[in-house]
Structure 1
């Protein structure tokens, strides 16, 4: 596995997250009016944080990466416990389904029950957010060469807080695509969809199918709905000529800028490598050193040592 591209997954995720954080919920028109084209890490704005500040996207990805390193594999109960500890730290940004699921975990629910209960109690339109796809890419690095297991742990990582099949299989498709990029698979998104198409929700497969064939949808939405976030992020990451262009394009669309930026960054990072991410971004993000170290440690962990 190429070290530069493995590191690019985690560092790209953080870059997209931090670039998008100050303009989250703004429209493309509002971003253009205030920033022209937002291409630099800026401070304050949404959430009133300094330039380069990461959000729940990267913070939860860090929880997963740390657990993978400490346990030499995927331990969903440990990841759930780390999410709860992070929740107790009073983060400034956290999604509604994540709050509800982590509250249940905090009060004793099992890792594979809390998200399931929240999903069943949530009406359509509020039950398939992007809160699990944004954090799942660290799983790719130790499991890239075991695609069936990667799909399984990706779905399970989502289930902790987001149990809707559009979310669980969304994580699987995203991570299989990223793994395909690391492994130089021809048409990585197409291969990912083929791997899950017999079980994945039709809406997920049909929304990403045109991208896999090289077509661009007429409209790309930037809402927090997992289908919209994945479609837009995958489009921008897989069609851009550079990692920087991919992330800038995604963020300047407005809407869920931090999360769509994070997903785009993870895919573009795997495609182009960490060395192609701007130093002016990386130097502003406090978590860069730890993310870089975790990516290196995850790359060195043989998949045979990973938990069943």
Structure 2
């Protein structure tokens, strides 16, 4: 289980770092994942190969809070605002940036969310999936966390649905049950998102080439394109190396698409299945491995008869 917990969290950060130089570009597919540096003038041009984006920053902040115990929205908002005011965000999602700007202006830490369908808080799905076994509690706390920056119901459906997918996959190792959990959440919370996800799955079943699928599904920063595209890739490619290579080079919102694919692959097969030569060069890989262990231990309960109570 620890192998898969570490795989899920580090797989997400690995996918983010692999997709970093390809964010906002056009698709140029490769089945061999490799760290790279963004071209001159690219929003991420200051980042080095192996560094993660603002998605990874958000995951790190959320993981640290969850590893300490109960989720705290105020602490989360403070960390986002601190990162914003220190100008430390790495090409931040526009919605997250706007929410932080609103926090700074109004002083409202947890009431400054923006109505936008961007994927800026999708990364929250990963640490929450690892930190909770009670899915109702997870969904409740995760919805509250999303509201700090994003108030759009489609975003809530996407983040909670993907967290349920990962949580189910970690608990049961059943891929179809995991996709079913995502589908059910989307159907209950946002039928439009559910339709987009179902369409991505249908396109995959036709055997359509990836480059054509990207043009139809879309690779923008909207959850209505990013999540269905990630579902397409996760259903099409079974080998982690190939999945990370293809998804990280899909252009557009490549870093987030690859992040979701990396989390899925790591949760399914464990950290030992990820490209081993890349992990030593991944920014803060050791810290994320430690956080994965803490998130797993967070849910360990000692039976009363064993605790002496």
Q: What range describes the TM-score normalised by the shorter chain of this pair?
A: 0.7 to 0.9
Pick aligned residue for 2:103 from 105, 115, 121: 105
- Per the alignment, residue 14 of structure 2 pairs with 15
User: Alignment partner for residue 55 of structure 1, among 53, 56, 59?
Assistant: 53
CA contact (8 A) 1:240 1:246 kept: yes
Q: Distance in 2 between matches of 1:281 and 1:82?
A: 29
Instruction: For residue 38 of structure 1, report the CA deviation from its aligned partner.
Output: 5.7
Matched position secondary structure for 1:280: coil
CA 1:37–1:239: 2 relative to 1, 3 Å = closer
Unaligned regions of 5+ residues in structure 1, if any?
120-126
1:162-189 Cα distance to aligned partner (Å, 9 max, x none): 1100001110000000011101145212
Determine the structure 2 residue equivalent to 1:88: 85
Q: Distance in 2 between matches of 1:250 and 1:96?
A: 22
Instruction: Decide which of 251, 274, 278 is 2:275's aligned counterpart.
Output: 278
**Distance (Å, rounded) in 2 between the aligned partners of 1:168 and 1:182:** 21
In the other structure, the counterpart of 2:187 is 197
Answer yes or no: is 1:160 the counterpart of 2:168. Answer: no
Contact 1:187/1:212 (<8 A) preserved: no
Distance 2:31 2:200 in 1: 25
Residue by residue over 1:227-270, the C-alpha shift from the partner in whole angstroms, topping out at 9 and shown as x without a partner, is: 11011112212432122221211122211111111111112211
* SS of structure 1 residue aligned to 2:286: helix
- Residue pair 2:31, 2:242 contacting (<8 A) in 1 also: no
| 3-state SS in 2 of match to 1:130 | coil
- Aligned CA distance change for structure 1 residues 238 and 8 (closer, same or farther; 3 Å): farther
Distance 2:142 2:301 in 1: 17
Q: Which residue of 2 aligns with 1:137?
A: 126
CA distance in 2, matches of 1:293, 1:304: 19
Rounded Cα–Cα distance in structure 1 between residues aligned with 2:254 and 2:191 = 26
C-alpha change, 1:44 and 1:255, in structure 2 (3 Å) is closer
Match of 2:237 in 1: 240
Equivalent position of 1:77 in the other structure: 74
State whether residues 161 and 181 of structure 2, in contact with CA within 8 Å, keep that contact through their aligned partners in structure 1: no
- TM superposition score normalised by structure 2: 0.86
For residues 184-263 of structure 1, the aligned pairs below 5 Å read: 184=172, 185=174, 186-195=176-185, 197-198=187-188, 200-210=189-199, 215=205, 219-263=216-260
Could you tell me whether the CA contact under 8 Å between 1:190 and 1:212 is conserved in 2? no
Report how far residue 212 of structure 1 moved.
6.5
The answer to whether the 8 Å contact 1:238/1:268 transfers is no
Q: How many residues align?
A: 286
Q: Say which of 172, 176, 181 aligns to 2:169.
A: 181
Residue of structure 1 in register with 2:26 after alignment? 27
- 1:189–1:212 contact (8 Å) kept in structure 2: no
The 2-side partners of 1:178 and 1:249 are apart by 20
